[in-house]
Structure 1
Amino acid sequence: MIQLKISPHSKQRIMHTRLKSFLFNKYRLIGILTVVLVFSFTFTSLVSYNVTRTSIDSDAKTKILPLISDNIYSEIQKELLQPIYNSSIMANDEFLVEWVLAGEQDTEEIVRYLQRIKERYGYFSAFYISARTNNYYYYEGILKQIRPEDEHDIWYYDFVRSGRHYDLDVDNDEATSGTLTIFINHRLEDNQGNFLGVTGVGLKMSEVGETLESYRKRFGHLIYLIDSEGLIQIHPDQDLVENTNIRELEGLQDIGDNILRNDDVTHYYEFRTKNGEQTLSARYLPDLDWYLIVEQDQTQALEAARLGLFGNIGIGVVVTILVIGLVVIVVNLYISKLEETANRDELTGLYNRRKMDEILSREIAFSKRYGEPLSLMMMDIDYFKSVNDSYGHHAGDHYLVEFAKVLREEVRLVDYVGRWGGEEFIILLPKTNVEQAKGLAERLRYAVEVMQIESGRGLISRTVSIGIASAQSGKMDVDEIIRHADEAMYRAKQQSGNCVVVW
């Protein structure tokens, strides 16, 4: 029986042929999958059209609205809880406490501090109000001294009397000519719990309102927040903020009291306005002591039901695109994995000889073009055969794996490490002259010398011989630099190993 021996080059050519064949079949597979998905979505849309019309109201209350409410809740947490967290950090900042205890002597220090807070986090305002001097410090200096008889300062005295660690207050910002602002206020105390004042940040109401408006456009729902008394605190319509109670809104007069339940359960209500049927969800936010209100216009949902057939088909097209995209991604990842496998040494995970040849050719060309230095290391583990003879091939493989780890840990991210064959390894160092390469080689030699591997039969310790060749300004070709590095490595071996030789 005649056995044909296939060369490595032939194996690579066969692999590339199979990859091309697979790529050709991939497009045929995607075409079939697209037809099946489009047909399936169209058919199911036709069948479910009448069912969708009758069940849309139930779906809105049990599926759509809860999901959107949860998504918006997560978004609101990001928008408002982060400023609360940052104001808490300010209230626990040693700099601020020490500055106050030192007598508030240098106003510029607190101004710079508040400026950094404002600019770093993008807040509209940052402030500190001193309990000792009643000074209202903000990011440009001292705004004023607060007084109990000033209606703009009532919040401060109410907050101090409340004993709460923090709260939210909607008010006009006197520092910016009355801009409506959400202030996050936090108590400042020393280590003994003595009250020092109030610090915090401010969010521009119009920007928060714009955020809610963007939610409305994205989710198709009206979103706003009310306090525990039902007073609107944040709303896309700025005229309603701090002026309108939820009980005064059309259709909500009879259910306003039921909405204001301070529990953690999301409640759903139905009501009617001149525009038609509406559905509302109310969720209590304990961190803010506010309620998140999400309103859905059922009239639009019923209108959407009449267009449900085309909507479902459109969704089917989108899902089909997503699925096809996912298939393409998975297939491409699989192909990339095949190519990665073809370029890596199976045992150590380093680049194999074929890939290192390719990289070296590319980097030599780069070096010649731009006149950059380039160095190459060839290394051989001294007396490695005795490892296999004394400890077994499994131990020898384990040593090679650990040896490869040492090489990866010592080199830069821009360097290339490969297994040249057997116990020989190669490192390509772009933009590296011979002195720099020698320094790295000495570090590698020492790291290998002190490396000890447990084999089960005792510790394995070996050394390495390293040869270096350098192509200054790309004046060597690939074969020449490899030959020089190889010759230098063998000269190192002839010197009893465990040394570095430069060609």
Structure 2
Amino acid sequence: MNTHHRITGRHRLMLLLGTLLTLGFLTTSLGSYFVSKREIHDAIVDRELPLTSDTVYSEIQKDLVRPVFISSMMASDTFLRDWVLHGEKDVTLITKYLKEVKSRYGAFSSFFVADGSSTYYHAGGVLKKVRPDEYRDIWYYRVRAMSEPYEINVDLDMANRDTMTIFVNYRVLDYQGRYLGATGVGLTVDAVRHLLSDYQKRYQRSVYFVTQTGKVVLFGSQPLPADDIHAVSGLGAIADRILANPAGSYQYRLDGRDHLLNVRYVPELKWYLFVEKVEDDALSSIRRALYLNLAVCVGVTLLILALTGVTLRRYQQRLEQMATTDKLTGLANRQTGELLLEHALADARRSQAPLAAVLIDIDNFKDINDSHGHLAGDRVLTRTAELVAANLRASDLACRWGGEEFLLLFRNCAGEQALLLADKLRSIVAVATIDVDGTAVHVTLSAGVAQYASPQTAEQLVGRADQALYAAKRGGRNRAILQASATESGD
């Protein structure tokens, strides 16, 4: 990206930011202007409806604590686990057990699915065999694969005429922690429905639950005009926006009246809780100092834009440097090096000029880290990079390729000449002394040299240089080796 594009982009961002700030401050100012007029409205939206929503949500959670506790006891019951481990021999025993749980705790449903036999047991006996290809058994295989001990799921109860039921599905493990199956109890949604009706009468608000697709599944004594919020006039226009957020306050118009709505997502049920009230009362209005607010907003906007412009310019410069430069050595990083390599290959193809790639590796670098510490290793890398960069030609390119490896590109340079240049760098580093906290450290380099031969790819060229580097390592280190031509090496 050139300077002109960067400046244009920054100006566009500033213009967008200024527009957003202006719109935001204008909206705030106008909101302040009508604050008194909206006092009752805000009280309903910000306090009354959320408070009702919180209360209903708390009651639901309280009703779910008991079945979770019961399911937990079932999952850890020694009888249940021993019965499974002994081969599920007497079905009457498990049936009697589930019936007793259902009766003692007043549960709507109790069940156990054995993983070994895939049998679904309930208080009335054997219901079925669960199968992974049966859509109504998906819940079991989801529970089987999950890491959490239990889940709360709303589903139809096959053992009770497909009654809509809130199930607590608890994983059962043996004494060694191996999965045995799933057990739990169910709570009929009628209990929650009675709760909703009670709140509708007490607070004069409509309370209902909606699925993630918009279907109204649970309501009190006052149902909506339709069984899907998309089909409700006014509400349907904002239905998708409501369902796309976990919580929020909304307003819509139905039958000539404004409806104020608070929505929150209930993760335990995977439903949305809707609490709404019709806005009937007359609203008073008192004017505010709108122009003073606008003047303050203009000043604040200009100040923010000025500070943002300075910050963006400095941040952009810093980002460009970080994106292209290795932080430790100051050389080009691997990503930039790959781009430079591709450009160098393209230039070599066009000009037919020779190009050589050199991979340099610091010998026994791990020993330096082990003997002197990683900070000393960083110092060695930094000093080696300085020595290499200081002794390159103006046309040469260098980058940190990874770890203690550096990639050099010698333009207009054949293989033999590149070998001499690489050996020169090796000699310079070999005689240099690197000071590490007062200790003189000497390092050596191994180098692999490969000359580019069309139509090689960048990966093939670097790969040949890497082969030469390994040959230098195997040959005793502290040396530079030229890889054979592409034809001779079999590329």
Taking structure 2 as the reference length, the TM-score comes to 0.44
Taking structure 1 as the reference length, the TM-score comes to 0.43
User: Greater RCO between the two (CA within 8 Å, min separation 6)?
Assistant: 2
